Amino acid sequence: MMIPAIDLIDGKVVRLYQGDYQQKTNYQDSAKQRQDLYANAGATVMHFVDLDGAKNSNERQLDLLSTLVKHPTMTIQVGGGVRNKKDVEQLLELGADRVVIGSLAIKHPELVRQWLIEFGGEKIVLALDVKIDQDGNKTLPTHGWIEDSGVNLESLLDDYIAAGLIHVLCTDISKDGTLSGSNVQMYSELCANYPQIQWQASGGIGCLDDIKALIPTGVSGVILGRSLLEGKFTLEEAIACWPNG
């Protein structure tokens, strides 16, 4: 499944290079124009990141998001600065199908596990950004990849699975925004070791061959951001090369 992704700052479609607000690219299309384009191309799931909300939850772009989340043919997942239960409830009440939770899932797992139990696994997506060290350990930095949490990916997952975890958006941060290909080996390992999770591969997709390389891994979805915005290929082409669309 192809999952187009759009990052939003001040109502505009943007891309950050490896999470850096100082390395920002603005795109001309509005978020709604892009969403309609992707829906017409056949996308059934879409991923939005509210980067204003990520910086300050009081500045969440609720008016814009309200026009995007209630889509007749798409499942919409929204992230960006989810820090408490009120934020989760706010986005779900707005109409989001899934709420994406990042750093908080690493810093306060007991809290996020409770939300999984309360809202259900279909309503929560964990966004886990992975840094792989020289020994192959998958660590989870936080706060825009600046702070080392000291938490290992595998050690975090077991308790979440027990709480009903279904969806994980996983990014190898060394690949994000680079268009240099995904970490195929990492996704193969994760899908083999945690088949009960529907993995969303994120980061590094630059051409159709990068998508095809992920087919044998077992990931359920592929996040497409910069590659679509910069016209490296069309969404129709991406969907066509994936089994069952």
Q: From start to end of 133-213, where are the E strands? A: 138-142, 147-152, 167-172, 198-202
Q: Which residue of the set 7, 52, 87, 176 is catalytic?
A: 7
pLDDT (0 to 100) of residue 143: 57
Q: 10 an active-site residue?
A: no
Q: Which residue of the set 87, 129, 176, 210 is catalytic?
A: 129
Nearest 5°: phi and psi at 83?
-120, -15
What does the domain layout of the chain look like in residue ranges?
Answer: 2-240
With beta carbons less than 8 A apart as the criterion, state whether 82 and 88 touch. Answer: yes
pTM assigned to the model: 0.93
Per-residue pLDDT of the chain (245 residues; tens, 9 = 90+): 999 999 999 999 998 876 778 888 999 999 999 999 999 999 999 999 999 999 888 899 999 999 999 999 999 999 998 999 999 999 999 999 999 999 899 999 999 999 999 999 999 999 999 988 777 888 887 655 455 767 889 989 999 999 999 999 999 887 766 677 899 999 999 999 999 999 999 988 999 999 999 999 999 999 999 899 999 999 999 999 999 86
Residues 6+ apart with CB under 8 A from 22: none
pLDDT (0 to 100) of residue 225: 93
CATH topology of domain 2-240: TIM Barrel (3.20.20)
**Residues in the chain, how many?**
245
Question: Any long-range contacts for 35-40 (C-beta under 8 Å, 24+ apart)?
Answer: 35/6, 35/68, 35/71, 35/74, 37/235, 38/4, 38/228, 38/235, 39/71, 39/73, 39/74
Q: 129 an active-site residue?
A: yes
How many Cα neighbours within 13 Å face the side chain of 3? 22
